[in-house]
Amino acid sequence: MTNHHHDSIRAVEWANGALKLLDQRLLPQQRTYVVLENARDTAQAITDMVVRGAPAIGVTAAYGVVLAARACYARSSTTWQGDIEADLDVLARSRPTAVNLFWALDRMRGHLAHVSGDPYEPLLAEARRIHEEDIAANRHMGQLGAALIAGSSQRPCAVLTHCNTGSLATGGYGTALGVIRAAYAAGKINQVFADETRPWMQGARLTAWELVEDNIPVTLVVEGAGAHLMKQGAVHWVIVGADRIAANGDTANKIGTYNLAIVARYHGAKFMVVAPTSTVDMTLSNGTGIPIEIRSADEILNHTGTRVAALGAAAWNPAFDVTPAELIDAIVTERGVVLSPTPQKWPI
Ligand code: MRU
């Protein structure tokens, strides 16, 4: 397979003057697109998981600002720069944990002040840059992560990944899944385990789909299989993405990531976090300040619209957890690799 083929999926596109999102709630059964014309619908699409994954949320929000600016400027060419703040607030409230959202909104906001005249073209150009830079960062991280895997083992090895960190979760190519793509292409990985990732099944539905599309063999395991799998020595690296990394390297990622990090350390597997610097939050000295999204109990009580839990049961549904830096063997960013992150070494 060519690299071009490895990069054929796009979750977020700007097409015909509108934002086009691949509806990730319906994959892999249906390939349906949602077309968005305004910022409020864009925010709702992020909340509702039409688009998800930290960098993809950031890219989407950047295009959402373009939609907001176009509407505000059409209403008033003199007050639009103030008027747009309400839309920026709506976008900022769409999901709380992935810092890429706030990073992208800040970057777009920084551009607003410099625009004179119609903001549409300059802001669209900036959103496209955010998108393209994310893909370039992913490609670079893919090379860095693959080299790390190559240096850690003489023979091709097996890896386990959690959630979906691929083309669907980013501008394109992927973070952790980008490393897996690059390392597989280089012959450094011979087996990829993906876990289901409850309750949205990003592993089963999205990661497995991306890998199958790329002709990379994938073996699905249930959410709780990680410990049993690693006990057998079947996994050399656990490779995951991130939604927010604090200044000391503590890393928020999809709920269940922390479990895998503990199990990996106990069983001697290595643990790699792959994320662009747009995922780093230098305002937080450690992970305790990272806001963890609590989603609806219905996501656990029901499955694909059918009630599965006993009537009367309550449910608690945090969408993310925080893995302490001490359990992380490597953080890979587009600026380089940090081994065993400490506040002295991280960030770079
Ligand atoms: O709830 P989601 O699907 O948005 O959560 C996504 C994750 O946790 C990913 O691992 C993370 O955003 C990194 S994506 C490159």
- Domain spans, the chain: 12-133, 142-339
Residue 6's pLDDT band (boundaries 50, 70, 90)? low
Predicted local confidence at residue 229, as pLDDT: 98
311 CB neighbour count, 10 Å cutoff: 6
Q: Which residue has the tokens 């993809």?
A: 56
What are the C-alpha distances in Å from 320 to residues 30, 97, 126, 199, 340? 27, 8, 30, 12, 22
| Mean pLDDT across 294-313 | 96
**Per-residue pLDDT at 2 exceeds 60:** no
Q: Which CATH architecture has domain 142-339?
A: 3-Layer(aba) Sandwich (3.40)
Judge contact between 209 and 27, C-beta under 8 A: yes
**Per-residue pLDDT at 200 exceeds 90:** yes
| Mean pLDDT across 323-332 | 98
Residue 347's pLDDT band (boundaries 50, 70, 90)? confident
Residue 343's pLDDT band (boundaries 50, 70, 90)? confident
Q: Which residue has the tokens 């086009």?
A: 20
Ligand 1 neighbours, Cβ below 6 Å, are 52-55, 98, 163, 165, 169-170, 175, 202, 241-243, 253-254, 319
For 12-133, CATH number?
1.20.120.420
Predicted local confidence at residue 1, as pLDDT: 37
**Per-residue pLDDT at 304 exceeds 90:** no
Judge contact between 141 and 328, C-beta under 8 A: no
- Structure letter (DSSP) for residue 27: T
Predicted local confidence at residue 15, as pLDDT: 97
Residue 259 CA to residue 252 CA, distance in Å, equals: 12
Query: pLDDT, tens digit, for every residue of 70-117?
Result: 999 999 999 999 999 999 999 999 999 999 999 999 999 999 988 999
**Per-residue pLDDT at 346 exceeds 90:** no
Q: Residue 55 C-alpha to ligand 1 middle, in angstroms? A: 8
Mutating to test ligand 1, I would choose from 163, 259, 260, 332 the residue with most ligand atoms within 8 A of its C-beta, which is: 163
Q: Residue 9 C-alpha to ligand 1 middle, in angstroms? A: 17
Predicted local confidence at residue 189, as pLDDT: 97
| Mean pLDDT across 316-331 | 98
The residue among 342 and 180 whose pLDDT is bigger is: 180
Sort strands 280-281 and 218-221 into parallel, antiparallel or unpaired.
Answer: unpaired
Residue 3's pLDDT band (boundaries 50, 70, 90)? very low
**Per-residue pLDDT at 142 exceeds 90:** yes
Residue 256 CA to residue 181 CA, distance in Å, equals: 22
**Per-residue pLDDT at 4 exceeds 60:** no
| Mean pLDDT across 302-310 | 94
| Average pLDDT of the chain, as a whole number | 96
Predicted local confidence at residue 243, as pLDDT: 98
Measured by CA distance, the residue closest to atom 10 of ligand 1 is 241
Of 7, 134, 243, 321, catalytic: 243
| Mean pLDDT across 294-312 | 96
Percent of the chain with pLDDT over 90: 93
**Per-residue pLDDT at 201 exceeds 90:** yes
Predicted local confidence at residue 5, as pLDDT: 52
Q: Which atom of ligand 1 is nearest to the CA of 253?
A: 8
Whether 243 is a known active-site residue: answer yes
Check if 12-133 and 142-339 are the same fold: no
| Mean pLDDT across 214-220 | 96
Helix, strand counts (H, E) of the chain: 10, 16
